[in-house]
């Protein structure tokens, strides 16, 4: 290595300097731009230069946490811009192929928003809901193929996500096409970088006025590409010259020793005619060019959420800023690497991405499954693999990214992520150029536009010990495994290649045509539950004879590892001590009037705003006692005999669709009011909304209102509530013995068939400890005492602004970060949810609001019994928050069952 090269390696070389020096292209604007972007050249008649992102995970292998972090941070900024209520109705649309993963990550940061990305792959049987053109791209036609056509038909904000915002043409084409069919009032454009020229800067605002909508722009950084006159022609000539030199020297070559001569000697990758590439294009030195970044100065997102931007690219030994040596010091392996397949265990029916839409419920399913899938990859990696690349496939960006992100947490290796692409880019092995190497291979997914070349950039010679190639099953074809296919190309440069195949998701025909002719009638007490038969009908199947219980520690380990879903088993019913039961009775005595007021208020709101004769449908099981109390209030105050049912809803799996079908067959869906006990962070609120959208799309049945009526809404997640105070609801203190002796609901494939209701158990053997009727009677006995107060309280609530602020969700996200948990599902806010943590999960600690009084007596007692610390904090919107052990293994609790500190 020359002294100059050593100096440049220490200082860092911008990966756009090669193009800038030869074409006079300049990047101006934010200081972060050169860290976020490099430059390359491509064969394109409309634009010669290519802005190469260092944080997108497309052309430049990058840490998956950096790639995902940038997208999530942008999504959080969009949520702040829109506000919580508007964000709940938003839909996110990403652009194929480059921004499919970025758009999905933005949707994750935004919250429960459904996600859809455009596609260039038509799918038989799926109707086109729209399309548009990307004028500067090498492949222009974008299709929109949502499984649920209603996905784009709402009136909430549409969030459009692309990797760069250059001219605005693509966004204008998209909005114009969609606005004609699905007009709405607000659009938000999101991009990593805003690179519009001054001439283009005002077009978006003019267009917004033209269509009468608001259009906002959210980006990580902004600037401008300054292009000298004639740059397109100069760029095309330069590309042609370097492509010709890849095949061998020409008489017109530059004088030896000039910068161009140095680069020509190394030779770029071949671009046409053959899958074989030149020496520097496919055989660079090990350790070169895995990323092209700004050098030692790391770049962070404007919100600070993504820790650092692109890693600085290592400068090749023997290379310098003006050219690359023609003599590799470490040759390509003499024999190809191994190729093996790893089974991911991808969840059945879960979409592989957003081509046909991706809902919040599906996102939860993926989150639950990721740890186990990453562990399978880790086990399949060769021993001693220190540098691993997860390589996605064209539009399939999000699933490989999330797998890489999970692998980064489990594997003892430096994990990087990038994807293959359709985009042809010139490769020049120079540290000042963003595309150092290129692998060329034939398309392997039978594309609709015919066969062609595909590319993987900056993979060869990057020093990877293993590559995990992730494709969908539509691309797992003979062409993938052919001697000139992607796997063989990778194996020529990497010692170990693993193939992971994600099932291609193809939407099914609506379920309605396959609906069974008859569903069973609801289960009722005393045969199922200790409630009177007229109090509630359970739209469940009886699994009382099935052994489903597992020790709490075993369940927690399986749930957190992704090996099982919490609804596939039941916790052993915790039988509280005599001291704890005394505390329950004391709490009931002191809070019964308060509970009665909340029951009366929420029932009056339902009767006034939702339906004069509502059908109460409780979410089993916490909602069931509340539904019975609301039914009793309607009888007491208005003489109404309201129907009341209990149905199962499972986080990550949605509501029981067969129960919805039963209800729709017998009642007007618009009369159905879903009831729950309380809100925590709003996960079930979101789950229900997403599940009802899915149900409407699959069955075509409309009218079910996703708004949940709750006794208490401390998380500010709903409009229909009795109070927003976070206080002790005694039914949260116990398990089945205050819920009609019914277990949590169960959803397991071997027990619940396609046409079955979800299941639950009736613990008849606990009849001697049953407090369910006593709880109901204690509260309803106070109805006459609180009637006048309820009337005034209901009037006040009906005239108040009850718009959800989602304050609780924001607090949960903050707590998750502050305590290093990084999983909101392990943060359980509110007295009720904290109690559940203490009774059913493996608790880590309890956060209590400073000065919280008797409402926390039972929590403190449980914490003392289980050895869980209680930490008083200020500025807590809840009375308390329970934290589940974030790194749970069976060793996280001692033999006595008490929690062990991390």
Supply φ then ψ for residue 379, to 5 degrees. -65, -30
What is the token pair recorded at 721?
A: 């509530």
pLDDT bracket for residue 829 (50, 70, 90): confident
Does pLDDT of 889 surpass 80?
Answer: no
Q: Give 248 or 312, the one with higher predicted confidence.
A: 248
Nearest Cα to Cα of residue 4 among 314, 322, 259, 295: 322
| Torsion, Cα of 580, 583, 585, 587 (10° steps) | -140
pLDDT (tens digit per residue) in 86-117: 999 999 999 989 999 999 999 999 988 999 99
How close are the terminal C-alpha atoms of the chain, in Å? Answer: 47
Give the C-alpha separation, 253 to 242, whole Å. Answer: 10
At 131, is the pLDDT very low, low, confident or very high (cuts 50, 70, 90)? low
Band of pLDDT at residue 17, cut at 50, 70 and 90: very high
What pLDDT sits at residue 837? 81
Give me 687's structure tokens: 């789950």
Phi-psi region of 450 (alpha: psi -120 to 50; beta: other; left: phi over 0): left
User: How far is residue 305's CA from residue 412's CA, in Å, rounded to a whole number?
Assistant: 24
What lies within 8 Å, CB to CB, of 384 at 6+ separation is 465
Lowest mean pLDDT among 50-54, 81-85, 569-573: 569-573
Alpha helices by DSSP H, listed for 296-423, are: 360-380, 398-410
- Six token digits for residue 591: 């809070």
Token pair, residue 241, equals 């010259």
Contact predicate 606/720, CB 8 Å: yes
- Residue range 311-369, pLDDT digits in tens: 333 333 233 333 333 223 333 455 688 999 999 999 988 999 999 999 998 999 999 99
φ, ψ for residue 94, nearest 5 deg: -105, 160
Q: Rounded mean pLDDT of 526-536? A: 95
Q: What is the pLDDT of residue 388?
A: 98
Number of Cβ within a 10 Å radius of residue 165: 23
Q: How many CA atoms lie within 13 A of 120 on its CB side?
A: 24
Q: Which helix (H) or strand (E) holds 829?
A: strand 827-829
From residue 548, alpha-carbon distances to 497, 553, 650 in Å are 40, 15, 16
Q: Six-digit token pair at 363? A: 């996102």
- CA distances in angstroms from 529 to 13, 544, 739, 773, listed in the order given: 71, 11, 8, 11
Q: What is the pLDDT of residue 185?
A: 92
Q: In angstroms, rounded to a whole number, what is the distance separating the alpha carbons of residues 644 and 616?
A: 5
The pLDDT tens digits of the residues spanning 860-878 come to 888 888 889 999 888 787 8
With contact defined as beta carbons under 8 Å apart, do 524 and 536 qualify? yes
Q: Which parts of 212-257 fold into alpha helices (H)?
A: 231-246
Tell me what the pLDDT averaged over the chain comes to: 81
Alpha helices in 721-782 (DSSP H): 772-780
* pLDDT-derived band at 138, boundaries 50, 70, 90: very low
Say how far apart CA 732 and CA 717 lie, in whole Å: 19
**pLDDT of the residue at 821:** 76
Sign of the Cα torsion 656, 687, 343, 148 reads positive
Nearest residue to 422 via CA among 57, 58, 806, 781: 58
Angle formed by the axes of helices 360-380 and 398-410, nearest 10°: 50
φ and ψ at residue 787, rounded to 5 degrees: -55, -50
Query: Which two three-digit tokens encode residue 336?
Result: 């190809």
Secondary structure E strands in 229-325: none
Distances (CA, A) of 774 to 101, 523, 588, 848: 53, 22, 10, 29
Residues 6+ apart with CB under 8 A from 202: none
pLDDT at res. 554: 55
**What pLDDT score was predicted for residue 271?**
33
pLDDT surpasses 90 at 500: yes
Beta bridge partners of 132: 142
- Compute the average pLDDT of residues 141-170: 85
Tokens for 657, please give them.
């669709």
Q: What pairs with residue 328 in β-bridges?
A: none
* Residue 475 in tokens: 């691309």
Report the C-alpha gap between 518 and 619 in whole angstroms.
23
Asked whether residue 750 carries a pLDDT value surpassing 50, the answer given is: yes
Residue 630 has pLDDT above 60, yes or no: yes
Q: What is the CA radius of gyration of the chain?
A: 30
Q: What is the pLDDT of residues 771-826, one digit of tens each?
A: 999 999 999 999 999 999 999 999 999 999 999 888 877 888 888 878 877 677 78
C-alpha span between 305 and 70 (Å, rounded): 7
Report yes or no on whether pTM surpasses 0.85.
no
Give the CA angle between residues 222, 226, 229 to the nearest 5°.
Answer: 160
């Amino acid at each position: 290595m020359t002294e100059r090269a050593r100096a440049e390696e220490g200082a860092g070389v911008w990966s756009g300097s090669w193009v800038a020096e030869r074409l006079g292209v300049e990047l101006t604007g934010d200081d972060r731009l050169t860290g976020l972007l490099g430059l390359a050249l491509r064969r394109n008649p409309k634009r010669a230069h290519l802005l190469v992102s260092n944080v997108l995970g497309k052309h430049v292998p990058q840490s998956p946490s950096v790639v995902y972090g940038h997208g999530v941070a942008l999504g959080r900024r969009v949520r702040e811009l829109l506000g919580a209520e508007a964000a709940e109705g938003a839909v996110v649309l990403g652009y194929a192929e480059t921004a499919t993963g970025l758009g999905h990550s933005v949707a994750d940061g935004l919250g429960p928003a459904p996600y859809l990305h455009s596609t260039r792959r038509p799918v038989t049987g799926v109707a086109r809901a729209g399309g548009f053109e990307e004028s500067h791209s090498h492949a222009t036609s974008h299709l929109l193929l949502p499984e649920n056509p209603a996905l784009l038909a709402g009136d909430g904000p549409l969030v459009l996500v692309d990797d760069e915002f250059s001219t605005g043409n693509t966004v204008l084409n998209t909005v114009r096409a969609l606005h004609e069919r699905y007009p709405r009032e607000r659009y938000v454009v999101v991009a990593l970088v805003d690179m519009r020229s001054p001439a283009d800067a005002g077009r978006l605002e003019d267009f917004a006025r033209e269509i009468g909508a608001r259009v906002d722009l959210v980006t990580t950084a902004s600037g401008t590409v300054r292009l000298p006159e004639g740059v397109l022609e100069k760029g095309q000539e330069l590309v042609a010259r370097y492509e010709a030199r890849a095949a061998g020297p020409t008489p017109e070559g530059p004088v030896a020793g000039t910068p161009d001569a140095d680069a020509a000697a190394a030779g770029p990758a071949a671009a046409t005619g053959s899958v074989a590439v030149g020496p520097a294009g496919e055989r660079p030195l090990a350790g070169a060019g895995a990323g092209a970044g700004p050098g030692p100065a790391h770049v962070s997102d404007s919100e600070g959420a993504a820790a650092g931007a692109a890693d600085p690219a290592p400068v090749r030994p023997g290379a310098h800023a003006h050219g690359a040596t023609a003599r590799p010091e470490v040759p390509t392996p003499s024999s190809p690497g191994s190729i093996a397949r790893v089974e991911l265990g991808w969840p059945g029916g879960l979409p592989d991405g957003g081509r046909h839409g991706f809902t919040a419920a599906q996102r939860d399913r993926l989150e639950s499954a990721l740890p186990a899938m990453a562990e399978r990859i880790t086990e399949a990696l060769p021993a001693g693999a220190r540098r691993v690349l997860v390589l996605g496939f064209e539009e399939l960006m999000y699933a490989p990214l999330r797998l890489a992100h999970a692998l980064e947490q489990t594997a003892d290796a430096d994990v990087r992520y990038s994807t293959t692409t359709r985009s042809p880019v010139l490769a020049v092995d120079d540290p000042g150029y963003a595309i150092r190497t290129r692998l060329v291979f034939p398309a392997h997914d039978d594309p609709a536009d015919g066969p062609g070349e595909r590319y993987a950039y900056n993979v060869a010679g990057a020093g990877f010990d293993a590559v995990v190639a992730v494709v969908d099953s539509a691309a797992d074809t003979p062409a993938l495994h052919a001697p000139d296919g992607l796997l063989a190309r990778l194996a020529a440069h990497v010692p170990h290649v693993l193939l992971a195949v994600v099932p291609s998701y193809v939407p099914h025909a609506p379920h309605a045509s396959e609906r069974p002719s008859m569903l069973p009638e609801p289960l009722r007490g005393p045969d199922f539950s200790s409630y009177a038969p007229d109090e509630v009908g359970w739209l469940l199947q009886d699994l009382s004879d099935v052994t489903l219980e597992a020790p709490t520690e075993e369940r927690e380990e399986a749930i957190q590892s992704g090996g099982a879903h919490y609804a596939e088993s039941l916790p052993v019913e915790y039988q509280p001590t005599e001291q704890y039961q005394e505390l329950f009775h004391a709490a009931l005595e002191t809070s019964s009037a308060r509970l009665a007021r909340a029951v009366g208020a929420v029932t009056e709101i339902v009767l006034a705003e939702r339906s004069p004769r509502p059908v109460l449908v409780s979410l089993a099981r916490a909602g069931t006692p509340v539904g019975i109390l609301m039914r009793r209030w309607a009888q007491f105050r208005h003489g109404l005999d309201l129907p009341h049912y209990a149905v199962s809803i499972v986080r990550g799996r949605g509501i029981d669709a067969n129960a919805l079908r039963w209800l729709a067959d017998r009642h007007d869906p618009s009369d159905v009011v879903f009831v729950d006990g309380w809100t925590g962070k709003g996960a079930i609120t979101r789950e229900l909304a997403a599940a009802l959208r899915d149900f409407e799309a699959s069955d075509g049945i409309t009218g079910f209102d996703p708004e949940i009526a709750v006794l208490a809404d401390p998380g500010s997640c709903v409009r229909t509530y009795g109070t927003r105070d976070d206080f002790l609801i005694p039914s949260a203190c116990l398990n089945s013995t205050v819920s009609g002796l019914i277990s949590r609901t169960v959803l397991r494939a071997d027990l619940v068939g396609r046409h079955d209701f979800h299941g639950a158990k009736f613990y008849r053997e606990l009849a001697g400890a049953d407090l369910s009727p006593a709880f109901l009677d204690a509260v309803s006995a106070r109805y006459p005492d609180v009637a006048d107060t309820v009337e005034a309280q209901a009037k006040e609530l009906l005239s108040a602004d009850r718009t959800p602020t989602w304050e609780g969700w924001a607090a949960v996200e903050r707590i998750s970060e502050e305590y290093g948990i990084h999983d909101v599902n392990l943060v359980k806010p509110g007295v009720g949810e904290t109690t559940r943590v203490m009774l059913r999960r493996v608790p880590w600690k309890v956060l209590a609001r400073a000065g919280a009084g008797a409402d926390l007596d039972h929590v403190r007692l449980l914490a003392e019994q289980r050895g869980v610390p209680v930490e008083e904090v200020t500025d807590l919107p809840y009375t308390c928050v329970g934290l589940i052990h974030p790194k749970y293994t069976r060793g996280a609790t001692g033999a006595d069952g008490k929690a062990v500190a991390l």
